[in-house]
Amino acid sequence: MADFEAKAKDFRTAGIGLLAASVDNQDDARKAVRELDLSYPLAYGLSADEISARTGAYYDADKKFLHATGFLLKPDSTLAGAVYSTGPIGRYTAADALDFVTAMSKK
C-alpha cells in the first residue's frame, strides 16, 4: 500500500482511483491508514474465505492468511487485469499498474 501511496498523485492526475481492501479489523485498518498516511480508501473487515471463494485469491487455510491479489478495473467496472500472489513476490507495483492502465487507455 505504501508503494501505491507514493504514486497516488500520479494516479489521481491520470484520473485513476485507488482502493485497498483488507481482512483486518477496523482498529488495525485505521492504524495502517495512519502509519502509511494513506490518501485513498481502505476497506476493512472482509472475510478471507469469502474473498478467496469469490475472486480466486490464494488463501492459506493453515495460517488463516489471504495473500495479496491485485485487480485493475476498467471504467465500466469490468476486469482489465489481475495478479494473484502466493507469497511476497509477484504483485502489481504502483508503477506497473499505472503503466498498464495508461497503455490500455491509449488503445
Residue-wise pLDDT for 56-88, tens only, equals 999 988 887 889 899 999 889 999 999 998 888
Task: For 4-14, write each residue's pLDDT tens digit.
Answer: 999 999 999 99
For the chain, the domains span: 2-105
Name the DSSP class of 87: S
pTM above 0.75, yes or no: yes
Helices (H), 1-107: 2-6, 8-13, 26-36, 48-55, 94-105
The end-to-end CA distance of the chain, in Å, is 28
Going by CATH, does the domain composed of 2-105 fall within 1.10.10.10?
no
Q: What are the counts of helices (DSSP H) followed by strands (DSSP E) for the chain?
A: 5, 6
